[in-house]
Amino acid sequence: DGGITQSPKYLFRKEGQNVTLSCEQNLNHDAMYWYRQDPGQGLRLIYYSQIVNDFQKGDIAEGYSVSREKKESFPLTVTSAQKNPTAFYLCASSIMGGRRYEQYFGPGTRLTVT
Amino acid sequence: RKEVEQDPGPFNVPEGATVAFNCTYSNSASQSFFWYRQDCRKEPKLLMSVYSSGNEDGRFTAQLNRASQYISLLIRDSKLSDSATYLCVVTPPSGTYKYIFGTGTRLKVLA
């Protein structure tokens, strides 16, 4: 079955530690995205990538970093510079084309930093 | 003005009722439009794309009004399982692959 996987589902870290969230897709989509969702709030874009070895900052990129070494993979690192890292992190992917196609989401990772 | 605005609700409706949500967007050149459904503590799932001519999928109907810059979602014969948050998504004009999400409208269908 094609889809997007994120691991782990729950992640707990101490303040001051960097942590990397995994995102893998086998949909053969070119574009991949990372969002953050806080309780009762909408999705906010952290980073997105349209092609391997290239990515763009979203609206809240500070304190985060990404890489796109393979088409299928788009890991997100939450660094110690991120002031409020506790949140629900969602990875998504989409086809690229002349029009904007629908995005598909992974199941998400809930990160808690104490 | 927010780029995409939705009434947060909650909309509490009895089973079998018809309910409609609107979503307004600020950029008149927005390109594509979608409705997603998000259950509590889960990822958003695509409900339907919204086409200029309007489109229907079973009990769900989506409409686009470019002149007034809003999209709508109509749910007929509501089921308990329709209880969720409905997210409106808009894409800006060509040149960027950003998707802009509304904060969602919460629907509760009551027995």
Segment B81-105 mean pLDDT:
89
A95–B contact, CB cutoff 8 A: no
DSSP assignment string, chain A: ---EEEE-SEEEE-TT--EEEEEEE-S--SEEEEEEE-TT--EEEEEEEEETTEEEE-TT-TTEEE--SBTTB--EEE-TT-S---EEEEEEEE--SSSPPPPEE---EEEEE-
Q: What percent of chain A has a predicted confidence (pLDDT) above 90?
A: 82
pLDDT at residue A32 is higher than 70: yes
Q: Look over chain B and give the mean of its residue pLDDT values, rounded to a whole number.
A: 93
Of the pLDDT bands very low, low, confident and very high (cuts 50, 70, 90), residue A92 is: very high
Taking phi over 0 as left and psi of -120 to 50 as alpha, with beta for the rest, B80 belongs to alpha
CB contact under 8 A, B99 and A106: no
B34 interaction partners in chain A (CB closer than 8 Å): 102-103
Provide the pLDDT for residue B5. Answer: 95
Q: What is the DSSP letter of B102?
A: -
Q: How far is A18 from chain B (nearest CA, A)?
A: 24
B contact residues 54-83, partner A, Cβ 8 Å cutoff: none
Provide the terminal-to-terminal Cα distance of chain B, rounded to the nearest Å. Answer: 37
Quick one: closest CA in B to A33, which residue? B98
Q: How far is B104 from chain A (nearest CA, A)?
A: 7
Provide the pLDDT for residue A1. Answer: 64
Segment A69-77 mean pLDDT:
97
Other Cβ atoms less than 10 A from the Cβ of A29: the count is 20
B1–A contact, CB cutoff 8 A: no
Contacts of B3 (CB under 8 A, 6+ apart): B25, B26, B27, B90, B100
pLDDT at residue B71 is higher than 90: yes
